[in-house]
Amino acid sequence: MKLLQVKDSETMARRAADLIGAQLLLKPRCVLGLATGSTPIETYAELVRRFREGALDFSKVTTVNLDEYCGLTGENPQSYRYFMQQHLFGQVNIPPENTHLPNGAAADPAAECARYDQLIEELGGVDLQLLGIGHNGHIGFNEPDTAFTAPTHQVQLKEGTIQANARFFSSIEEVPKAALTMGMSAILRARKVLLLAGSDKAGILRAALYGPVTPQVPASLLQLHPDVTVITTGAVQ
Ligand code: GLP
């Protein structure tokens, strides 16, 4: 694992964009695993800036996002599809048909999860997976107690996660109680992992990186991965 402790979120975004940019240059036809949440927003803005400068080309890239809320369509401003459209897809030259998220509005969530795993397999897996981390150590929406081998599945969100994400909604009642998330198994199979964490996550990040590997802290499973880069503004060591 490579740990980069940086001084501010702007530096974090630049370092993350360097790594994602390098992936695009080395393999233009790559598969990027993408994340939502507030932490990667500046990284997406930096990627957009570099695209506008002509330094990056997304025309051959395919993306698979980690997760989506159940019951929300892509037109809903609270959906992760909408978030991605706003912050990245709508701002760069990625073909819309190359951008994938689980469909949270699918009538048959189990079939949708199976479709998503099949899609990731057909794409040849994820080259670089971008991750944030929840305050309880969740990755995507893999909440504590998720099996190491979980495929894409439907989860009931923990109360703390609902509260943490309520800031994006006008009231806590509007936060969906369930989501579809890529499982830890696909995340661990990504060839490279890039985890971003602000200083508010220092405690859980320390537990994830240096504590026991346990499903109680899903991010701790990343200790089993051979190529993880963590960029943080927090004092972890
Ligand atoms: C949500 C997302 C996660 C994200 C987490 C932390 O739960 N499903 O993928 O890592 O929020 O978000 P933030 O970066 O806003 O703290």
Instruction: Summarize pLDDT for 58-75 with one digit per residue, the tens.
Output: 999 999 999 999 999 999
The reply to whether 136 belongs to the active site is yes
CA dihedral defined by 213, 7, 50, 85, rounded to 10 degrees? 50
The ligand 1 atom at the shortest distance from the C-alpha of residue 36 is: 9
Please check whether residue 181 is in contact with residue 141, taking contact to mean a CB–CB distance below 8 angstroms.
yes
Q: Residue 153: beta bridge partners?
A: 181
Ligand 1 centroid to Cα of residue 133, in Å, is 6
Q: Cα of 85 to ligand 1 centre, how many Å?
A: 17
Active-site annotation holds for 76:
no
Task: State the pTM of this model.
Answer: 0.96
138-180 pLDDT per residue, tens: 999 999 987 888 899 999 999 999 999 999 899 999 999 999 9
Catalytic residue among 138, 142, 153, 165: 138
